[in-house]
Chains A and B, each alone.
Chain A
Amino acid sequence: MTFVRLLRWELFKLYRRPSSYIGFVLCLAFCAVTLFGFGWTQYKGKEIQGLKLDASQYLNGPFYANFVLNIAFFALLPLVVATVAGSQLAGEAKDGTLRALLVRPPSRALVYLAKAVASLVWVELVIVFLIALALLVGHVAYGGGDLLVYIWEFKSAGFWRVEASDWPLVFALCALGAGAALAVVASVALLLSALTDNPVVAHVGTLGGFFISTVLQRLPDQVMGSSFKELLPTTHMNFWHEIYRWADPAGDGMNRARVLEDVLWCGGLTVVCFAAGLLVFVRRDVTS
């Protein structure tokens, strides 16, 4: 009961805090800029696996939404996660409001857990908003239809089509999957937020770690060996892309073993970081 009460107030604070909306504003800006960029470039099509495709065949609302989601996943959404989760403890420590919370009956552990869950809920809301906005904008700009999926990781597998009746479910599952993958980033941000009284340290530290991992992961295997890449968090955070394979009408090509391994890896890292953050927070002196 105390936890539910704490969670309700944590969500209320996120809802009322102006800085919480930076993620939504960035989503709007991101969609506007990409639309403008498409228009500027007069994008006509692309050759994929030797097959020349006319943009008019696949550039539609769902394609645009998928494009936005995949770019945002490694550029925009980690930023949103880092700022929301990274501000949860360090931001309150900096403002002095952490004292007001911790001199009240709820335990530190419950306060920490409520903040963690509130962060994840907020991030999920931003993801859903981004997808819904991109679908809306994409439909207005390019119309509807089937979704053509082409993702960098699957380039060797080419592309495939998700029928119009299936892509709403695919997007819903992708929203959940991307949110689950970003829990890794949230847990790191919360850990850093528990270690410092300065939210900027938590934001920059989290984003720095994420981008270093992303860059190393994308280097050629000759430069950065695949066995080393397996140790990088971002290597395992794209498991939700397999949802597209699952939806492939030509046959379920989902690599279940890989998904399971990635989910376990991300889940394990998330639990470890959350637990470490909790341990730090429960024991630390609040001197701000």
Chain B
Amino acid sequence: MCATRIAVPGPVVLATHDLSKRYRGRTVVDRVSIAVERGDVYGFLGPNGAGKSTTLRMILGLVRPSGGRVELFGQPQGDRRALARVGAIVESPSLYTYLSGRDNLRMLADLSGGAPAARLEEALVRVDLRDRADDPVRIYSHGMKQRLAIAAALLPRPELIILDEPTNGLDPMGIRDMRDLVRSLAADDGITVLLSSHLLAEVEQVCNRATIIARGSRVWEGEVAGLLAGRRRVRLRARPVERARAIAQTMGAEAREVEPGVLHVTRDEITPAALVARLAAAGVEVDEIVAEAPTLEEMFMSLVAGDRPEEAA
């Protein structure tokens, strides 16, 4: 399921221009430029160590860029009024473990300009922590901490929320809840979201636009739908395999034998059901058929090799 832009395309709320960071002569972020528009759920995709967190830290003013610049709501980095319009979680949730969840929220909201008590309760309900709000955070699970950190980021009603690997360390239920929450932030609250992840599937499910970085450099930016265009495939185990390949090719697909008796059939328009129907009609026996998307590693390999999908204008 691909997310779509929720709000009408609007002005750029966050832009980086040739943003770079070097540590002791080693370049960890190399001239990365992105533009997040109002209403985007923007994915920032890359493997671990690609420079995602460093870029987010530069955007938030935690790390000083070695080159380039950041604009938040049209203001240069360091403008505290612009920062007041941003909610953020960088890496693991940053919470005071010796304070209760409620005290954490009260403090972080107060330092962001304040929020009435009713909003605080509302935020606790939204992240399903109202019953545990008075417990010390040290006894919270990782998922609860993550949800509390999101509540803290949401309390000052930000226009842009930056989430750095928000599903890291969560169980499958927690991951699903987190993705639902991110979608809801955009759909119900109209908040622009910048989400970093090393999971292609996550970005595909949640984001409408994305940037991919590898080894500190941007390798792609555009619509997520365009990222996967021509890359969806079906894994097919059939007999006889040569006949199956010929039928797939007559349907306009590319079919490649990746191991004995197994084909990768690549064509976005071909559904597994349609392919099975054609194969069965032709007397081909289908032992296994699985719809697959390329892994992030495969995407990187193909992008770095120059096989780039259509980039957004």
* A residues in contact (CB < 8 Å) with B: 5-6, 9, 12-13, 16-18, 95-107, 283, 285-287
Docked complex Cα distance between A105 and B113 (Å)? 8
B90-103 vs A, Cβ < 8 Å mask (1 yes, 0 no): 11101111110001
Residue among B62, B84, B99 facing the most chain A CB atoms (10 A cut-off): B62
**What are the residues of chain B within 8 A of A100 when measuring CB–CB?**
94-95, 108, 149, 152
**What are the residues of chain A within 8 A of B98 when measuring CB–CB?**
16-18
Are B107 and A12 in touch, CB under 8 angstroms?
yes
Are A103 and B95 in touch, CB under 8 angstroms?
no
Docked complex Cα distance between A287 and B152 (Å)? 21
Q: A99-B62, A283-B64 are in contact. Are A9 and B90 (CB under 8 A)?
A: no
Are B107 and A9 in touch, CB under 8 angstroms?
yes
Which listed residue, B83, B99, B149, touches A104 by the CB 8 Å rule?
Answer: B83
Are B83 and A13 in touch, CB under 8 angstroms?
no
**What are the residues of chain B within 8 A of A106 when measuring CB–CB?**
80, 111
Task: Kindly state whether residue B61 has any CB partner on chain A within 8 Å.
Answer: yes
Are A107 and B80 in touch, CB under 8 angstroms?
yes
Docked complex Cα distance between A96 and B88 (Å)? 13
For window 103-118 of B, CB contacts with A under 8 Å fall at 103, 107-108, 110-113
Are B61 and A103 in touch, CB under 8 angstroms?
yes
B17 to chain A, nearest CB (A): 20
In addition to A97-B96, A99-B94, A103-B60, 16 A-B residue pairs with Cβ atoms within 8 Å of each other are: A5-B110, A6-B111, A9-B107, A9-B110, A9-B111, A16-B96, A16-B98, A18-B98, A98-B94, A100-B108, A100-B152, A103-B61, A103-B88, A107-B80, A283-B64, A285-B64
A-B residue pairs in contact (CB < 8 Å), sample of 8 = A5-B110, A9-B107, A16-B98, A95-B97, A96-B91, A99-B62, A103-B60, A105-B80
Task: Kindly state whether residue B290 has any CB partner on chain A within 8 Å.
Answer: no
Docked complex Cα distance between A103 and B108 (Å)? 10
For window 62-100 of B, CB contacts with A under 8 Å fall at 62-64, 80-81, 83-84, 86, 88, 90-92, 94-99
Task: Kindly state whether residue B142 has any CB partner on chain A within 8 Å.
Answer: no
Grouping DSSP codes into helix (H, G, I), strand (E, B) and loop, the B interface class, with mixed when no group exceeds half, is: loop
**What are the residues of chain B within 8 A of A5 when measuring CB–CB?**
110-111
Number of B residues near A (Cβ < 8 Å) is 30
**What are the residues of chain A within 8 A of B110 when measuring CB–CB?**
5, 9
Q: Please, which residue of chain A has its CB at the minimum distance from the CB of B99? A: A16
A194 to chain B, nearest CB (A): 15
**What are the residues of chain B within 8 A of A97 when measuring CB–CB?**
94-96
Task: Kindly state whether residue B179 has any CB partner on chain A within 8 Å.
Answer: no
B201-223 vs A, Cβ < 8 Å mask (1 yes, 0 no): 00000000000000000000000
**What are the residues of chain A within 8 A of B94 when measuring CB–CB?**
95-100
Q: Please, which residue of chain B has its CB at the minimum distance from the CB of A12? A: B107
Which listed residue, B62, B96, B99, B152, touches A285 by the CB 8 Å rule?
Answer: B62
Grouping DSSP codes into helix (H, G, I), strand (E, B) and loop, the A interface class, with mixed when no group exceeds half, is: helix
Q: A16-B99, A95-B97 are in contact. Are A103 and B92 (CB under 8 A)?
A: no
Task: Kindly state whether residue B57 has any CB partner on chain A within 8 Å.
Answer: yes
A283 to chain B, nearest CB (A): 7
Are A105 and B112 in touch, CB under 8 angstroms?
yes
Are A102 and B61 in touch, CB under 8 angstroms?
yes
Q: Please, which residue of chain A has its CB at the minimum distance from the CB of B21? A: A285
**What are the residues of chain A within 8 A of B149 when measuring CB–CB?**
100
Docked complex Cα distance between A104 and B107 (Å)? 11
Are A285 and B111 in touch, CB under 8 angstroms?
no
Docked complex Cα distance between A16 and B81 (Å)? 30
Q: Please, which residue of chain A has its CB at the minimum distance from the CB of B111? A: A104
Docked complex Cα distance between A13 and B94 (Å)? 14
Docked complex Cα distance between A13 and B110 (Å)? 14
For window 230-286 of B, CB contacts with A under 8 Å fall at none
B8 to chain A, nearest CB (A): 28
Q: Please, which residue of chain A has its CB at the minimum distance from the CB of B109? A: A104
**What are the residues of chain A within 8 A of B62 when measuring CB–CB?**
99, 102-103, 285-287
Q: Please, which residue of chain A has its CB at the minimum distance from the CB of B100? A: A16
**What are the residues of chain B within 8 A of A105 when measuring CB–CB?**
80-81, 83-84, 111-113
Q: Please, which residue of chain A has its CB at the minimum distance from the CB of B63? A: A285
Which listed residue, B86, B99, B113, touches A13 by the CB 8 Å rule?
Answer: B99
Are A103 and B63 in touch, CB under 8 angstroms?
no
Q: Please, which residue of chain B has its CB at the minimum distance from the CB of A285? A: B63
**What are the residues of chain B within 8 A of A107 when measuring CB–CB?**
80
Docked complex Cα distance between A200 and B265 (Å)? 59
Q: A102-B62, A105-B81, A283-B64 are in contact. Are A96 and B92 (CB under 8 A)?
A: yes
**What are the residues of chain B within 8 A of A6 when measuring CB–CB?**
111
Docked complex Cα distance between A2 and B92 (Å)? 27
Residue among A5, A17, A104, A287 facing the most chain B CB atoms (10 A cut-off): A104
Docked complex Cα distance between A18 and B62 (Å)? 28
Enumerate the 8 nearest inter-chain pairs by beta-carbon distance, A residue then B residue, closest first: A100-B94, A286-B62, A105-B84, A285-B63, A96-B94, A105-B80, A104-B111, A99-B94
Docked complex Cα distance between A12 and B111 (Å)? 13
Are A286 and B108 in touch, CB under 8 angstroms?
no
A11 to chain B, nearest CB (A): 12
B136 to chain A, nearest CB (A): 9
